[in-house]
Amino acid sequence: MGPEEIQGFATFLSHGGIAAIIAVLLCAIGVLVWERSRLLSIIEALTTQIIDSKKEETESIKEIIDLYHQGNLTLVTTLTEIKGVLANIHPSRRS
């Protein structure tokens, strides 16, 4: 768009009339549609990023819970073995 075209458009708008008002409104609508589509694409990208982050966070939490469960099972097994050893030691002390 060259300077002559811009000047011609400015002259067209300055003369007023229905055509000029419609042109201004169409330009405003075009800008608003462009801005809305740009914002929607940004929102979609951010939503996808947040969902992916939440999935990773959920997997990390599941891994932590599994490790905690395994630790508790190991603790119970160890305590059971200690109880067995103590039970075997205790009768030999009475003899």
Amino acid 58: pLDDT: 95
What would the mean pLDDT of 17-32 be, rounded to a whole number?
A: 88
What would the mean pLDDT of 88-94 be, rounded to a whole number?
A: 69
Token pair listed for 43 = 């929102």
DSSP states of 5-72: HHHHHHHHHHT-SHHHHHHHHHHHHHHHHHHHHHHHHHHHHHHHHHHHHHHHHHHHHHHHHHHHHHHH
CA dihedral 24, 28, 34, 39 (to 10 degrees): 170
Q: Is the pTM of this model over 0.75?
A: no
Tens digit of each residue's pLDDT (9 = 90 or more) over 46-65: 999 999 999 999 999 999 99
Residue 94 confidence (pLDDT) above 60: no
Domain chopping of the chain, boundaries: 17-94
> What's the mean pLDDT when you consider all of the chain?
89
Burial classification of residue 81, based on how many CB atoms lie within 10 Å of its CB (0-12 exposed, 13-18 middle, 19 or more buried):
exposed
Amino acid 19: pLDDT: 80
Residue 91 confidence (pLDDT) above 70: no
